[in-house]
Amino acid sequence: MLAFLLRNHLLTYNLHFFVDGQRTLYTTILCAFAWLSSFQIVLDWYHLEKRCKEQLSMALKGRVIRNALLDELFPFLWHGCVDRAIALLQSVDSTKIKHQKALADLIGYLERNRPYIPCYSVRKRLGLWNSSNRGEKANDLVVSDRQKHNGMSWSKPGSVALAAVTALVRNQEYKRWFQTGTLSFSFSPSC
């Protein structure tokens, strides 16, 4: 990835990394790009929304209670008001709680990800991305489409090799690779 960014003179731009809340992603990005001043990590809205729904389904007594709380919670998160979202979760009536640990886990998730939760509404108005959907779709096309069918099992080397060949084909680099063993490290003509 770094070679691609260097080859295409992209390190002069402000890079945005969209993540799903996985701690290892943050650590890897921060280690690899700590020297670069112009990058930002953004918690993907889709994954934030999904995590809230899942945790509150486990935490609360019924979907009616869950949905009512989500209706209050999402506007706070959409506008980047993490403190208000946490305060709302902490104020949930104990008679509505089924599993306190699930609620505590959601609060911990929001606290851990606080630096990566922007004001999504402003980003949207500015025409900026709030989602990693392009990356997710690329993964579907390169990996999932071929490798994730019922009953399929791949070794790590086999999976990586097939993904590499699929990426070569999708990026129209396969002829160059098989003839010269080199890549252009530039954007695909189909982008």
Q: How far is residue 118's CA from residue 116's CA, in Å, rounded to a whole number? A: 6
Q: Identify the pLDDT of residue 150.
A: 63
Long-range contacts of 89-95 (CB under 8 A, 24+ apart): 92/60
Q: How far is residue 17's CA from residue 44's CA, in Å, rounded to a whole number? A: 9
Domain coordinates in residue numbering, the chain: 45-125, 132-191
Task: Over range 38-43, report the average pLDDT.
Answer: 92
Which tens digit of pLDDT belongs to each residue from 124-150? 999 999 987 777 777 777 777 667 766
